[in-house]
Amino acid sequence: MTTDEIDQLREDVLAAIDVAAGPDALEAVRVHALGKQGTVTALLKSLGKMTPEERQVQGPRIHGLREAVNAAIGARREKLEAAILADKLASETLDMTLPVDVPTSGTVHPVSQVMDELAEIFADLGFAVATGPEIEDDWHNFTALNIPDTHPARAMHDTFYFPPDDSGEQKMLLRTHTSPVQIRTMVDQKPPIRIIAPGRTYRSDSDATHTPMFHQVEGLVIDKGITLGHLKWTLETFLKAFFERDDIVLRLRPSYFPFTEPSAEVDVGFSIEKGKRVIGGSEGWMEVLGSGMVHPKVIEACGLDPKEWQGFAFGCGIDRLAMLKYGMDDLRAFFDGDLRWLRHYGFSALDVPTLSGGVGA
């Protein structure tokens, strides 16, 4: 093929690429030029039959042609895809300001309701509500809580990690518990501290009793002369107010958490009424929370002197509290967004929990 013919072919192919109206047409042009039987492919094959001198002249031209065609196809494809996306976005817009034609009455989700109840109960005991980020760093979520790198608890938490940053150092993660809010509070505030920290937590776990996102509430008290007695009284007072029953019986079982020493798991007694478990009494026991005296190492990691300051902490699953109090039995339904479920189990936005009116009214 002469140089002029190659130039002509280039012009023809590039023009065809330019007018290809959609991805299918563009693919047809590509096959016609670069496919097995393609015009440009034939040229490439012809290089093999040339004398070395011819090849030296034609080689760069033909390879240049192939590259130009490839680049033009890539650019055209991007343009077409962008146009398709723009069309799709334009045709799928949803005007959120349009009136809806079904009567809607929203309800307060049981998880929000329980969080409000917790805030109300603990406010009465002098606790403030603290918050922290759901995207945490390793130090707040683990290290400062006395869970060093090699600690088995790290593996047990089924953590969702983000890819490392450019330095390859800092591992960000979705917090696996609300305990990092303890750390943030101790670092930021001067004791005495009394806070609860309700919020979302994440672990890579999913079945009838676990969802990858769930809710916890953390409690933290830091002051002078704090003992296990204060912990037990606080939990008992909280659970009586929460379940709105005076016959709540607690059982503290020795346990292990890296961030508390000693640690205790707290069971609450239940009785059987009409074949159903009801909180109160002591016919059986149900584990409801983890707790303990804040480990001196944790207090120290936050820059406080553990000889001067002591405290207790606890952590509790909010979803489970809601299930126990309001009788839902499948955790997954909490997050399905099913309006029928929400209408059945949701609460009126006007019934704000108060201690005098009954927190679960």
Contacting residue, 199, 258, 292, 311, with ligand DAH by CB under 6 A: 292
Question: 292 - beta bridge partners?
Answer: 263, 313
* Burial classification of residue 243, based on how many CB atoms lie within 10 Å of its CB (0-12 exposed, 13-18 middle, 19 or more buried): buried
Q: Between 124 and 265, name the residue whose CB sits nearer to ligand DAH.
A: 265
Residue with tokens 């590259």: 67
Q: Is 261 annotated as a binding residue?
A: yes
Tell me the site size for ligand DAH, rule CB under 6 A.
11
Least distance (Å) between residue 210 CB and ligand DAH: 12
CA pair distance 258, 296, nearest whole angstrom = 11
CA pair distance 249, 312, nearest whole angstrom = 20
3-state helix, strand, coil in the chain (%, to 5): 45, 20, 35
Contacting residue, 146, 179, 234, 310, with ligand DAH by CB under 6 A: 179
Contacting residue, 38, 180, 191, 290, with ligand DAH by CB under 6 A: 290
Determine, following the binding rule CB under 6 A, whether residue 291 of this chain makes contact with ligand DAH.
yes
- The amino acid occupying position 161 is Y
Determine, following the binding rule CB under 6 A, whether residue 310 of this chain makes contact with ligand DAH.
no
CA pair distance 178, 25, nearest whole angstrom = 55
CA 69 to the chain's CA centroid: 45
Determine, following the binding rule CB under 6 A, whether residue 132 of this chain makes contact with ligand DAH.
no
Determine, following the binding rule CB under 6 A, whether residue 184 of this chain makes contact with ligand DAH.
no
Among the candidate windows 166-174, 205-213, 286-294, 348-356, which touches ligand DAH by CB under 6 A? 286-294
CA pair distance 222, 310, nearest whole angstrom = 6
Contacting residue, 195, 217, 298, 313, with ligand DAH by CB under 6 A: 313
Contacting residue, 214, 238, 243, 257, with ligand DAH by CB under 6 A: 257
Handedness of CA 104, 348, 268, 234 (dihedral sign): positive
Query: Scanning residues 208 to 227, which ones bind ligand DAH (CB under 6 A)?
Result: 218
Determine, following the binding rule CB under 6 A, whether residue 260 of this chain makes contact with ligand DAH.
yes
Give the pair of three-digit tokens for residue 73. 């196809």
Q: Which residues are annotated as a binding site for Mg(2+)?
A: 261
Which residues here bind ligand DAH, judged by CB under 6 A?
177, 179, 218, 257, 260, 290-292, 313-315
Q: Which residues are annotated as a binding site?
A: 261
